[in-house]
A and B are shown apart, each in its own frame.
Chain A
Amino acid sequence: MKRLISVALVFVLAAAAWAQDGFKDVEKQVVEFNLKNGLKFLVLPRHEAPVVSFHTYVSIGAVNEDRGITGLAHIFEHLAFKGTTDIGTNEKTGGYAKEKPSLETLDKAWKAFYNESIKPKPDPGLFAKYKMEYDTALARASRLNDSEEFGRVIEQNGGVGLNATTGADATQYFYSLPSNKIELWFSLESARFYDPIIRDFYKEKDVVMEERRMRTESNPIGKLIEEVLAVAFKAHPYKDPVVGHMADLKGITRTEALSFYRKYYVPENMTIAIVGDVDVNEVKRLAEIYFGRIPAGQKTEQVRTVEPPQIGERKVVLHEQSQPILLVGYKKGSALDADDAVYDVISDLLSSGRTSRLYKSLVRDKKIAVQAGGFSGFPGQRYPNLFLFLAVPAQGKSNDTCLAAINDEIIKLKTELVSDEELKAIKTRQRANLIRSLGSNNGLARQLTFYQGLMDDWREMFKSLDKINAVKAEDMKRVAEKIFQPNNCTIGTIEPVKNN
């Protein structure tokens, strides 16, 4: 299964903390350079094994979509695997010169078919005619391409972990190669963003619609998350699903996809990290050659819409053929908020391990849930987002029982200071998490680009531990009082209905 994107129940743990003690070495080894066009590279040489991981972070996600094109950031992520003018075309049938007109014919045929199909009462004769013309054009365009060439070449050269994800804030592309194939990555990765050809567009939309059905429409938890976001946010694009609304997926055109790419896939919006068995000078040389050719553009500005303060409790209840699930979200600041580290510490206190407060209360002692936690940073972190509680009630227990127990823990946070011992344990764990996260090349590459992309400075990866260490019990109480307010709350539940 390929190209999984993180729109399902993935709680992105905010800004995993980084220790400074003993990791200055790692920090010192990171080499940073910018190309003239604004593209930033972060390189960390590690020669333990002859392998290297690549991570391309594009600071463009679902938040950059306009009305009517929800899901396009994600669709483009799929399309970025479809090749270029000379990769992914069928050389045996005359290459891209022959393929190009077939794509244009297909666009026209699709448009006629689509326009007819969305009419309240499609004309059956016209519908059949347009469908036939569309199918014919589709088959022809297919014959003229070899659209899995891009992925095939990477796999055949020993690429592993080939994938990409689209989130609300960013789109990320990554894989690893044996370290003698570094230039292959430069060649393919630069080509896909320099000269992409949008082929297989309509079939890939079908694939994405299947993805939506799988993750959301045929999945009770997926449905609940989509509804909770729609209710929690009323203005900011975090309200829309990353995978997109079905009608938008159906209607999005190839032209729109191309404009989206031209506007947003500019070097200024991209950060690339390379971690593994590489020579920094060689990386610099190849970066100039391959990525230097991409023209400079305009760095995308922050989304204008700011979610207004929430002025009342919101609630959504889904009646599903499923056991109960409870989500409780509170609005909080973005990753750039001065209190960002405080949210992380609260999340650790509530959710990390068997000594966490929610586990002890809901799972161990009250035995009303089989899983419980509270996570900071949903659905993204670039903009003010949700601190989201999750409870999975135990057999025979209700969402209400779990909600009451979560509220008890919230009251505790707001009225009592956390003990020194608890706080110390959290800080020890955050340091250990940081150490353990340094283990893998691809994990490091992901983190470096993440902090650069989100905070505009990869060093935040190392600074965040200082911030965590500076958090005081009083900060946690203050922040809890600020955000855990009834009017700032959104509750989403699944209540069971009997199966058919």
Chain B
Amino acid sequence: MKKIRFFTLLVLSAVLTVSAIAQKKSTKPLHYKKLQYPKLKEITIPEPMRYELPNGLIVYLLEDHTLPTIAASVMIHTGARFEPAEKIGLAGITGQVMRTGGTTAKTGDQLDELLERHAASVETFIGTTSGGARMSVLKEDAELGVSTLADILRNPAFRDDKIELSKIQFRSGISRRNDQVMQIASREFTKLMYGGASPYARTSEYETIDNITKQDLIDFHKKYYLPNNTMLAVWGDFEPGAMKGLVEKYFADWAKGAIAMPPVPQPRFVGVGTVNFIRKTDVNQSQIYVGEMGGKLNDPESPMLNLADQALGGGFASRLFVKVRTQQGLAYAIGSSWGEGYDYNGLFRMNGSTKSGTTIKMVNSIIEEFKNIVEKGITEDDLKYAKESYLNSYVFQFESKASVINKLMSLEFFSYPKDYYQKQLKEIQGATTKAVNEAIKKRWDPNKLAILVVGNDAEFDKEMKTLGSVRTIDITIPAPPEKFPDATAELVTKGKSVLQKTLTALGGQKFLDVKDLSQSIKMNISSQMGEMEATGEMIAVLPDKIFAKMSAAFGEMTMAWDGKSGWMNSPMGAQEMPAQQSESFQRQLTFNPVMVLKNLDSPAYTVWYYKEDKVQDRPTGIVLVKHNATNKTIKWFVDNESALLVKTASRERTPAGLGMQETIMDDYKDVGGVKFPFKLISMVDGKKSQEITLISMKINSGVKEDVFKKP
């Protein structure tokens, strides 16, 4: 095995080991301050063999003969951050069922029997930023391990019974997610910081699990699991030649393919500066999170901020530990973590727990320590503590072969330089309080702290509002989606007959002749930030173009969808139309009553009757309208008496994840012989989100299509 000298550590020990030469052996017990230490032995860190198969699979091998075992790990460029918003859980379920659902050759149960009989394990999973696999076998089972690992990665069968089993696990996880207060706090802090729909915060729901099909798993696997998108590391008790042969035998004929990686989503930090509360009445201790935007592992400030974090809340002698725990006895758990991602910004958090009666005191204590370190900086003592803790324990980072090979593979996986850790070490060796404090000033801001408290506010020492304007977060688990009846011939006939009456009520043929509409509107928008008024214009040209302009206190915003792409101009500048907005526009066009009623008999839509219901105390009938190309269904509530469409309802993406979007249509007026609602009230999950009042409306005025072009 090739070994390289770990030169940086030699430098380090030379710097830190004073009087190493003059060391004398002690003959009586000495106080630690009087101890002299010999120089730390030269460290060799093993260098794994790295090579690439012709199909693009990157392989790391490292011999280790200490135990008669062999282990492997695999990394694949994929991740839950790439799964569609309406199928959250797809990546996780794919990662599980790859293994449990067996391969084309063996069922999952057969794999279980085979592996466990040999005390072997092969497991697969998909996390937020990567997919992976782990293998562990006794030396004599090397071929069993490698062949099974390859078979699972290459030929998963995704059998239905194990998809169902995995869905049960996910649904049970959802049902249990509010049982533990610590789990609530950690999840909800992430959600409030990144936004509930962020790929780094979102959680699966009953509905998103229901939406996942076997074909989705097959497609997700097919898209990412390619040899040229994969890295394999094997370490343990083998001869390199033999292991190379095994890898060759089971991976070389894996055909490479074209990789289409979606762009890595970059998070926004929507929660900065907010104060948030979640009520939990069955606890006597509050969970507290305070934090802001974190960083990336390769930020220039990363080494300095890691030192700052160690001094702030990293260990026994850190400021938070000493001030909050040791000196005030407020908490058992308290600490901080400067969160860093490889390719996206993590979350910086300070968190801990304290009895209900000292909740606000503890929040204020944490904020005070943070302000203190930002305003006054760290001291020489802080730096000595943080720096020496890091440098003297550096040797443990490369203690095992597994940690060496996995660290190297991760660096390459995320396109980091191979000498990342050595460079970081060097920077930390050279760190000064000045450098650390400059990094702190640059990246930490007490005005941006977000606060989350989960607890029983009936017992708090002070009211939450003493911390600022409080947002209360509702963590009620959304019920599973409604199950609709099948579109039987009978229900289709009934649905069509209801909508025929609606068409008549709206103006009959004249309504179907509508080609374009121009509206001048007034809007009231309600959000967590409060109420906002706006005025605007909406222009639509059927079947596929829409334009909107809005003026409000923040300035003017225009946006348009031209049937293929969308754009948006706001005081923040010009940009592509966000996916959620373009989805909303396309939905408005697809489910525009003109389009639907014109196509009642076309295969583009299926309409069928569902059941009676009431809207604002008036009896209505619900007709389901399904757009077959997108498989999307919306409920239309038709007034029994007037036959007018008085409400629509559907599950939609909202800033907080999937939600029930309802729009009530009211105040129908005649425009050129056609009836249109002049008041539209929208609600998300039962809460009013906006109210639109039409000031004027024109139809078929011959809209110039320039308006949709990107300016």
Residues of A that sit less than 8 Å from B by CB: 1-2, 22, 48-51, 81, 86-87, 142, 147-160, 162, 176, 178-181, 183-184, 187-188, 190-191, 200, 202-211, 213-214, 217-221, 277, 285, 289-290, 293, 320-323, 352-355, 363-364, 367, 370, 392-396, 421, 424-425, 428-429, 431-433, 435-436, 438-440, 499-500
* Cα–Cα distance between A153 and B165 once the two chains are bound (Å): 50
Contact of A51 with B395 in the complex, beta carbons under 8 Å: yes
The smallest C-beta distance from A456 to any residue of chain B, in angstroms, reads: 28
Complex interface bits, B34-62 against A, C-beta within 8 A gives 1, otherwise 0? 01011111010000000000000000000
Tell me, rounded to whole Å, the shortest Cβ–Cβ distance linking A405 to chain B.
15
Contacts of B27 in A (CB 8 A): 289
Beyond the given A159-B392, A221-B180, please list 19 additional residue pairs across the A-B interface where CB-CB is below 8 A.
Answer: A51-B395, A147-B326, A148-B321, A151-B315, A155-B389, A179-B40, A180-B17, A191-B29, A206-B329, A210-B285, A218-B283, A218-B353, A353-B116, A355-B112, A392-B172, A393-B172, A395-B168, A438-B67, A500-B281
Tell me if A214 and B40 are in contact (CB < 8 A).
no
Known: A178-B392, A394-B172. A142 touches B385 (CB 8 A): no
Task: Give the residue of A1, A191, A323, A394 whose beta carbon is less than 8 angstroms from that of B179.
Answer: A323
Judge if B682 is at the interface, Cβ distance under 8 Å: no
Q: How far is the CB of A323 from chain B (nearest CB, A)?
A: 5
The reply to whether the CB of B710 lies closer than 8 angstroms to some CB of chain A is no
**Shortest beta-carbon distance from A168 to chain B in Å:** 20
A-chain residues with CB within 8 Å of residue B689 when the two chains form the complex:
none
Query: Roughly how many angstroms separate A218 CA and B184 CA in the complex, as a whole number?
Result: 13
Pull 28 A–B residue pairs with CB atoms less than 8 Å apart, ordered by A. A1-B333, A152-B316, A158-B393, A159-B392, A179-B41, A180-B39, A184-B37, A188-B32, A203-B328, A205-B329, A209-B355, A210-B330, A210-B332, A213-B285, A213-B355, A217-B285, A219-B180, A221-B180, A289-B29, A322-B176, A354-B100, A355-B116, A364-B165, A370-B168, A392-B176, A393-B172, A431-B119, A435-B67
What chain A residues lie within 8 Å of B389 (beta carbons)?
155-156, 158
Query: 8 tightest CB-CB pairs across the interface, nearest first?
Result: A158-B392, A151-B316, A206-B329, A432-B119, A152-B317, A203-B329, A218-B283, A213-B285
B633 contacts chain A at the CB level, 8 A cutoff: no
Cβ-defined contact, A277 with B29, below 8 A: no
Question: In whole angstroms, how far apart are the Cα atoms of A429 and B388 in the complex?
Answer: 42
Instruction: Determine whether B391 belongs to the interface, using a CB cutoff of 8 Å to chain A.
Output: yes
CB contacts (< 8 Å) of A425 on chain B: these are 116-117, 119
What 1/0 mask marks residues of chain B from 167 to 180 whose CB sits below 8 Å from any chain A CB? 01101111110111
Q: How far is the CB of A373 from chain B (nearest CB, A)?
A: 15
Asked if B66 is at the interface of the complex by the 8 Å CB criterion, the answer is: yes
Q: Which residues of B contact A439 (CB under 8 A)?
A: 66-67, 400
Beta-carbon contact of A22 and B333 below 8 Å: no
Is the beta-carbon distance between A184 and B35 smaller than 8 angstroms? yes
| Chain A residues whose C-beta falls within 8 Å of the C-beta of B399 in the assembled complex | 49, 51
Q: Does B118 contact A (CB under 8 A)?
A: yes
Contact (Cβ within 8 A) A217 B284: yes
Complex: chain A residue closest to B111, CB-CB: A354
Are B385 and A156 interface neighbours, CB within 8 A? yes
Q: Please tell me if the beta carbons of A428 and B118 are within 8 angstroms of each other in the complex.
A: yes
Number of A-B contacts (CB under 8 A): 237
CB distance from B179 to the nearest CB of A (A): 4
Q: Does residue B31 face the partner (Cβ distance < 8 Å to A)?
A: yes
Contacts of A155 in B (CB 8 A): 315-317, 385, 389, 393
Q: Chain A contacts of B212 at CB under 8 A?
A: none
CB atoms of B396 and A289 under 8 A apart: no
The CA-CA distance from A251 to B177 in the complex, in Å, is 36
Contact B32 A187 (CB under 8 A): yes
Chain A residues, Cβ within 8 Å of B302: none
Is the beta-carbon distance between A214 and B333 smaller than 8 angstroms? yes
Q: What's the nearest-Cβ distance from chain B to residue A134, in Å? A: 13
Whether the pair B354, A49 counts as a contact (CB closer than 8 A) is no
**Which residues of A have CB within 8 Å of B35?**
183-184, 187
- State A346–B304 Cα separation when bound (angstroms): 52
Query: Shortest CB–CB separation between residue B519 and chain A, in angstroms?
Result: 44
Of A86, A277, A436, the most chain B CB neighbours within 10 A belong to A436
| Set of chain A residues within 8 Å of B26, measured between Cβ atoms | 183, 289
**Complex alpha-carbon distance, A293 and B28, angstroms:** 10
A153: chain B residues at CB < 8 Å are 32
Interface residues of B in 478-508 (CB under 8 A from A): none
Given A2-B316, A187-B32, A436-B69 in contact, is the A207-B329 Cβ separation under 8 Å?
yes
In the bound complex, what is the Cα–Cα distance between A149 and B175 (angstroms)?
Answer: 45
Decide if B181 touches A218 in the complex (CB within 8 Å).
yes
B595 to chain A: which residues have CB within 8 Å? Answer: none
- A149 cross-chain contacts in B, Cβ below 8 A: 317
Interface contact B41-A500, CB-CB below 8 Å? no
Q: Is A202 touching B32 in the complex (CB atoms < 8 A)? A: no
Contacts A50-B40, A50-B43: A200 and B181 contacting too (C-beta < 8 A)? no
Q: Which residues of B contact A432 (CB under 8 A)?
A: 69, 119, 138
Using CB atoms, name the residue of chain B closest to A211.
Answer: B332
Taken together as a complex, chains A and B put the C-alpha atoms of A295 and B109 apart, in Å, by: 59
- A154 contacts across to B, CB distance below 8 A: 316
Q: From known contacts A210-B353, A323-B176, infer whether A440 and B400 are also in contact, taking CB-CB under 8 Å.
A: yes
Which residue of B is nearest A440, CB measured?
Answer: B400
A158 touches B29 (CB 8 A): no
Residues of chain B in range 242-263 having any CB-CB distance to chain A below 8 Å: none
Cross-chain contact A142 with B41 (CB below 8 angstroms): no
A277 touches B41 (CB 8 A): yes
- Residues of chain A within 8 A (CB-CB) of B334 are 1
**A184 CB contacts on chain B under 8 angstroms:** 32, 35, 37
Residues of A within 8 A of B37 (CB): 180-181, 183-184
Cα(A321)–Cα(B278), bound, Å: 15
Tell me how far the C-beta of A165 lies from the nearest C-beta in chain B, rounded to whole angstroms.
14
CA distance A403 to B27 in the complex (A): 63
Nearest Cβ in chain B — how far from A156, in angstroms? 4
B419 within 8 A of A: no
Q: In the bound complex, what is the Cα–Cα distance between A150 and B17 (angstroms)? A: 21
Closest residue of chain B to A153, judged by CB? B32
Contact A176 B396 (CB under 8 A): yes
Closest to B397 in A: A160
Kindly state the separation between the CA atoms of A180 and B10 in the bound complex, as whole angstroms: 13
Contact pattern, B 13-35, Cβ under 8 Å of A = 1, otherwise 0: 10001000000011111111001
Say yes or no: B29 contacts A293, CB within 8 Å. Answer: yes
Q: Are A429 and B321 interface neighbours, CB within 8 A?
A: no
Q: How far is it, in angstroms, between the C-alpha of A155 and the C-alpha of B386 when the chains are bound?
A: 9
Closest to B64 in A: A48
- Say whether A87 contacts B32, CB under 8 Å: yes
B175 touching A500, Cβ below 8 Å: no
Residues of B within 8 A of A353 (CB): 112, 116, 121
A-side contacts of B176, CB under 8 Å: 322-323, 392
**Contact of B332 with A208 in the complex, beta carbons under 8 Å:** yes
Assembled-state Cα–Cα distance A395/B41 (Å): 56
**Complex Cα–Cα for A353 and B315 (A):** 36
**Interchain CB contact under 8 A, B172 and A157:** no
Looking across the interface, which residue of chain A has its beta carbon closest to that of B398? A49
| Docked pose: A149 CA to B32 CA in angstroms | 11
Cα distance A221–B395 in the bound complex, in angstroms:
38
- With a cutoff of 8 Å between Cβ atoms, the chain A residues found around residue B335 in the complex are 1
- In the assembly, what is the distance between CA of A188 and CA of B396, in Å? 21
**Residues on the A chain within 8 Å of B280, using CB:** 321
Contact B332 A207 (CB under 8 A): yes
Given A218-B284, A354-B112, are A290 and B29 neighbors across the interface (CB < 8 Å)? yes
Given contacts A290-B29, A395-B168, A436-B136, are A160 and B396 in contact (CB under 8 A)?
yes
CB-nearest residue of chain B relative to A185? B32
Contact between chains at A162 and B316 (CB < 8 Å): yes
CA distance A140 to B282 in the complex (A): 37
Question: Which residues of the other chain, B, contact A162 by a CB distance below 8 angstroms?
Answer: 316
Tell me whether B68 is interfacial, beta carbon within 8 Å: yes
Residues of A within 8 A of B68 (CB): 22, 435
Cβ–Cβ < 8 Å partners of B396 in chain A: 51, 158, 160, 176, 178
Residue among A22, A81, A87, A213 facing the most chain B CB atoms (10 A cut-off): A213
Q: Which residue of B lies closest to A145 (CB)?
A: B326
